[in-house]
């Protein structure tokens, strides 16, 4: 990607010097985050959350960053800046104002307005405080566990979480949350899949304009994004972690679905074509 020398977003909070002990749990909104925005890694967050009941404040400390992590920090801030510029323009063209989210970098665990934030959850978005939470060690997971190397794979992850912020701004996330008590677990999981696929679509829309308007992409970047989307489908993650596929437990969509919607967003750049909730795919 052609990202060096470009604007880094100031909507940035660095918590990598905080201990992360004593995570405060609770808050009704935490249920939606854990249920539908949890983890690219496919784990069961409820088991982890039960272990975190202490409300002791976090402790701040200095932290040394390697040159590699400093560069990765600059990279994700540039990607976030790009999403800000592009979504501001898209929403402005549709008569709306974009309110940018904040990116929080942390290590191991942190507190959020949605409850506990854990590295094991993968990158996630908390609508209660309109922040994206990322432990940059996930970049190593993309390369080593999921076989999705390359800068654009990580850019796709950031853009996906920003896609959830778009859903918060347009009310989609609230609508899904209101359905929670009216649906069975299987039905709600299906709704969760639709939400995640739309975030993939929005990531593709960002990539479309990052390429067209900003010339941010280079040869091979799109393929890296598609490879990342393919690697983190529910079917692949379930097979990897538990040795079988359970469709009723899907919360993010299959690899094929995630690739389809990301690619559709990239190819069209048209936000009106991302209604995953009324689409069979």
Q: Which domain holds residue 120?
A: 12-267
Does any domain span residue 1?
A: no
Does any domain span residue 281?
A: no
CB 272 within 8 A of CB 198: no
Mean model confidence pLDDT for the chain:
86
Nearby residues of 87 by Cβ (< 8 Å), 6 or more positions away: 98, 100, 162, 166, 206
Mean pLDDT of 246-274: 94
Top-confidence residue, 101 or 121: 101
CB 276 within 8 A of CB 198: yes
CB 20 within 8 A of CB 110: yes
Query: For position 245, what pLDDT does the model report?
Result: 92
Query: For position 149, what pLDDT does the model report?
Result: 87
Mean pLDDT of 185-203: 95
Query: For position 17, what pLDDT does the model report?
Result: 83
Query: Domain tally for the chain?
Result: 1
Query: For position 84, what pLDDT does the model report?
Result: 98
pLDDT band at 154 (very low <50, low <70, confident <90, very high): very high
Mean pLDDT of 238-243: 87
Does any domain span residue 279?
A: no
Mean pLDDT of 201-216: 96
Does any domain span residue 206?
A: yes
Lowest pLDDT segment from 46-50, 81-85, 112-116, 254-258: 46-50
**Closest residue by Cα to residue 102 from 80, 82, 131, 78:** 131
Top-confidence residue, 280 or 116: 116
Dist CA 204 CA 276 (whole Å): 14
Query: For position 62, what pLDDT does the model report?
Result: 62
Does any domain span residue 274?
A: no
Does any domain span residue 19?
A: yes
Query: For position 61, what pLDDT does the model report?
Result: 57
Lowest pLDDT segment from 41-45, 73-77, 270-274: 41-45
CB 81 within 8 A of CB 98: no
Share of the chain above pLDDT 70, in %: 84
**Closest residue by Cα to residue 219 from 276, 152, 281:** 152
For residue 165, pLDDT over 80 is answered with: yes
Does any domain span residue 280?
A: no
Query: For position 23, what pLDDT does the model report?
Result: 35
Alpha carbons within 13 A on the beta-carbon side of 271 = 17
Does any domain span residue 273?
A: no
Mean pLDDT of 102-128: 94
CB 110 within 8 A of CB 123: no
For residue 276, pLDDT over 60 is answered with: yes
- Length of the chain (residues): 281
**Adjacent-strand bridge partners of 13:** 104
Task: Give the model confidence (pLDDT) of 1-42 as tens digits.
Answer: 999 999 999 999 999 987 544 333 333 333 334 443 344 444
Query: For position 241, what pLDDT does the model report?
Result: 86
For residue 82, pLDDT over 50 is answered with: yes
Phi, psi for 255 (deg, rounded to 5): -60, -45
């Amino acid at each position: 990607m052609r990202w060096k020398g470009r604007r880094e977003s100031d909507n940035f909070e660095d918590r990598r010097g905080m201990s992360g002990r004593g995570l405060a749990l609770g808050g009704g909104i935490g249920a939606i985050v854990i249920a539908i925005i949890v983890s690219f890694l496919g784990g069961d967050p409820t088991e982890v959350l039960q272990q975190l009941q202490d409300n002791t404040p976090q402790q701040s400390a200095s932290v040394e960053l390697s040159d590699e992590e400093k560069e990765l920090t600059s990279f994700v801030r540039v990607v976030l800046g790009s999403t800000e510029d592009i979504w501001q323009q898209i929403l402005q063209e549709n008569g709306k104002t974009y309110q940018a989210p904040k990116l929080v970098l942390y290590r191991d665990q942190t507190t959020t307005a949605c409850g506990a934030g854990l590295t094991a959850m993968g990158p996630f978005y908390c609508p209660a405080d309109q922040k994206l939470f990322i432990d940059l060690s996930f970049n190593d997971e993309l390369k080593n566990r999921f076989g999705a190397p390359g800068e654009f794979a990580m850019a796709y992850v950031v853009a996906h979480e920003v896609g959830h912020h778009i859903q918060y701004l347009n009310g989609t996330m609230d609508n899904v949350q209101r359905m929670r008590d009216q649906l069975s677990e299987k039905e709600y999981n299906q709704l969760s899949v639709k939400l995640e696929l739309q975030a993939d679509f929005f990531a593709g829309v960002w990539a479309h304009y990052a390429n067209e308007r900003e010339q941010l992409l280079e040869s091979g970047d799109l393929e890296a994004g598609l490879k990342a989307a393919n690697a983190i489908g529910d079917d692949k993650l379930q097979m990897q972690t538990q040795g079988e596929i359970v469709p009723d437990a899907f919360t993010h969509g299959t690899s094929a679905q995630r690739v389809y919607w990301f690619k559709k967003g990239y190819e069209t750049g048209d936000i009106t074509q991302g209604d995953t909730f009324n689409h069979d795919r």
